[in-house]
Structure 1
Amino acid sequence: MRIPALTLLCALALAGSAARAADDTPTADVRGSADHPLISRFPGSLLVGYGQQDWATTELPGAAGMSKADPHKFADPVQAEGKVTRLYYLGPLGKTPLEIFRNQQQALMAAGFKPRFSCELKPCADAYFALETSDRGKTMNWAKGALVGVKGNNFKGARWGLPMALGTDEARILAGTLNRGGTPVQVMVYTAEAENEYTDRAASYIEIVEPKAMPSGQVTVDAKAIGQGLQAEGKIALDGVRFDTGKTELKPESAAQLDQMAAVLKAQPTAKVFIVGHTDNAGSLDANLKLSQGRAQAVVAALTQRGIAANRLQAHGSANYSPVASNASEDGRAKNRRVEMVLQ
């Protein structure tokens, strides 16, 4: 049977277009990515979106669910801070979102996961908008390629953008905490169709927040601010004074802060100050007293080397007697580990 030339050419063009579109489908994980040790991928999935911030803040669903005043907002969102890892997995062709989500759910529950919020199917639509996934996707790196339609007469070979291609169809969300080493780690899993039913794939967006203290000591308090603090409060904490954990030797990056401390004392030649070391509540009281005293003495020694008379300085270790925040969190403990300058 002869096929008209025009028909044949059109068929070949469509076949070539579909082949090119199929070639766009990612075949490997995005460069620089890695599974989080807390939860493994569903077998055969590709990690095509990945982002990690060493210290950041993010908003996760709270226990009260959606706001009655605005259903596209969470009623009591959890503001989580710490190391934020974001992962977007593209499931194997033909595997349903339900199969993948149930496996994720079972693995988390078996590990001691404590759910705080969950939704399935239509109720997840409001949560989808509340999560503002496109904004989260901007913090991630993405593999090259696209999602390709593999079924539906009008959608075979069609292409859709890969970044945060999550819909509300077949959507399921689970959020809560998983205890690791005595610390509750925030985990959220969102699994749904990858863009739409025509891709015949599921996609999973996973967000994990590991609490940790924000890196401190990165800002030096200048002499003017130190003088104002001493005048207003009679004391000031110096975040720029740095020590390694459990050590009394000043780190080299403390030099700029020590210079500013010496400058304010030279500008006020009659002022005498206590240099007070503080710790968190980790370890024994005796050890903390010794550590805080040693650190205070190290600062005094550094200031005398900068021309400040020794009789104007007195070192004092307060261990964990005077916390400025709760020692129940790492962020609070970080605030409690400090050196203060106090007017005598």
Structure 2
Amino acid sequence: MHRFVAVFTAAFVAAFPASDALAQNRDVAGARDYPGIGRFSGSVITGYQTKDFDAVRLQAAAFKDGQPTDARTLEGRVTRIAYRTGPGPSILEVSRNFENQLGKAGFETLLACNADDCGGIPFSEKIDALPIPAMWIDGFDYRYFAGHKRDGNADIYATVITSKNNDDIYAQLVVAVVGALENKMIDAAAMAKGLGEKGHIAIYGIYFDTDKAVIKPESAPTLAEMAKLLGGQPALNVFIVGHTDNQGSFEHNMTLSRQRADAVAAALATTYKIPRGRMKTAGLGFLAPVGSNATDEGRALNRRVELVQP
């Protein structure tokens, strides 16, 4: 399968228009190197993802008879960065540079192997990789590294998968800082405290499909807490204000943010019997960011609903 992917790439890349080809010579928007690790000279970042809490697969030993022998699932803050390097260096050269840099940063090797020693195609299919075209893995030709270090009370793991597509070398660095899930659920008491101290509070437990104003079912616990707040304080009137990130036009986001605020008010009135007159709605689009819209994390912070006390 991976060999087919590698052959398919030539036709896929040839289909890109000139503007896309130029974009491939720059880092993807919002991307940056991992602090203290950096990149191989001449590389560009083709894929970038960071999550406050996520799960990632790591292989700490080679496969035996096509099956894992020490597979680990790590949970915590996960950063994934994919790089492309032009023709010239070998897979080994790029990988060794990352391995040496990780060693200098304090990581001890758990596993370092080439395709055949790792376990061939079955091993490559279990690698946690960003999707094509950010990252390409040829199941017949790759190198894998996994390392670990202890930093204070934190366990930190790093993996590097390096492979080749046509004459370009692709490498993906994954760093996982193992940690517990932070409780970001805001209950009625926290909402009341935020309104009392600051006059507003951001609500992140209301979920919508991309570009839509239909509330998803998993929003129910947060809506229930909002209803508990309003039901427990009959004299409290609020503004419900929708906020978006900067993806799309100004006009579209202004409309979408207002529609989402309206949807929240409607749900509270219909399902929880909160008088509609106690809730005014507004939409500010991306005019009041709390994070940078140049990064995934910032955009996630900006997509929110806020309660505001008049």
TM normalised by structure 1 equals 0.47
Match runs of 1:115-134 below 5 Å? 124=100, 127=103, 130-134=106-110
**2:217 corresponding residue in structure 1:** 252
> One-letter code of the match for 2:107?
L
> One-letter code of the match for 2:210?
T
Tell me, which stretches of 5 or more residues in structure 1 are unaligned? 1-33, 41-57, 66-79, 91-106, 138-144, 148-177, 192-203, 211-215
**1:110 corresponding residue in structure 2:** 86
Match runs of 1:1-344 below 5 Å? 61-63=36-38, 81-82=50-51, 86=58, 108-110=84-86, 124=100, 127=103, 130-134=106-110, 206=161, 207-209=172-174, 219-305=184-270, 306-344=272-310
Contact 1:88/1:205 (8 A) holds in 2:
no
CA distance in 2, matches of 1:273, 1:218: 25
- What SS is found at the alignment partner of 1:130? coil
CA distance in 2, matches of 1:63, 1:330: 20
> One-letter code of the match for 2:291?
A
Give the greater-gyration-radius structure (CA).
1
How far residue 275 of structure 1 moved from its aligned partner, in angstroms, is 0.2
Contact 2:36/2:105 (8 A) holds in 1:
no
Contact 1:278/1:320 (8 A) holds in 2:
yes
- What SS is found at the alignment partner of 1:322? coil
- What SS is found at the alignment partner of 2:205? coil
TM normalised by structure 2 equals 0.52
**2:27 corresponding residue in structure 1:** none
> One-letter code of the match for 2:109?
T
- Measured at CA, do residues 296 and 59 of structure 1 come closer, stay the same or move farther in structure 2, by a change above 3 Å? same
CA distance in 1, matches of 2:5, 2:58: 12
Contact 1:217/1:241 (8 A) holds in 2:
no
Q: In the TM superposition, what whole-angstrom CA distance separates every residue of 1:243-297 from its partner, at most 9, and x where no partner exists?
A: 1111111111111111110111122111110000000000001110111010000
- Measured at CA, do residues 124 and 242 of structure 1 come closer, stay the same or move farther in structure 2, by a change above 3 Å? closer
Contact 1:39/1:108 (8 A) holds in 2:
no
Tell me, which stretches of 5 or more residues in structure 2 are unaligned? 8-32, 41-48, 63-82, 112-116, 120-129, 137-142, 146-158, 162-171, 176-180
**2:20 corresponding residue in structure 1:** none
Instruction: Point out 4+ residue stretches in structure 1 off by more than 4 angstroms.
Output: 37-40, 58-61, 82-90, 117-121, 216-219
> One-letter code of the match for 2:274?
I
- Measured at CA, do residues 273 and 217 of structure 1 come closer, stay the same or move farther in structure 2, by a change above 3 Å? farther
Q: Percent identity?
A: 35
CA distance in 2, matches of 1:338, 1:112: 46
- Measured at CA, do residues 235 and 205 of structure 1 come closer, stay the same or move farther in structure 2, by a change above 3 Å? closer
- What SS is found at the alignment partner of 1:277? strand
Q: In the TM superposition, what whole-angstrom CA distance separates every residue of 1:26-84 from its partner, at most 9, and x where no partner exists?
A: xxxxxxxx97x9999xxxxxxxxxxxxxxxxx96743499xxxxxxxxxxxxxx83475
Root mean square deviation, CA, Å: 5.0
Contact 2:50/2:296 (8 A) holds in 1:
no
CA distance in 2, matches of 1:241, 1:64: 38
Aligned residues between the structures: 204
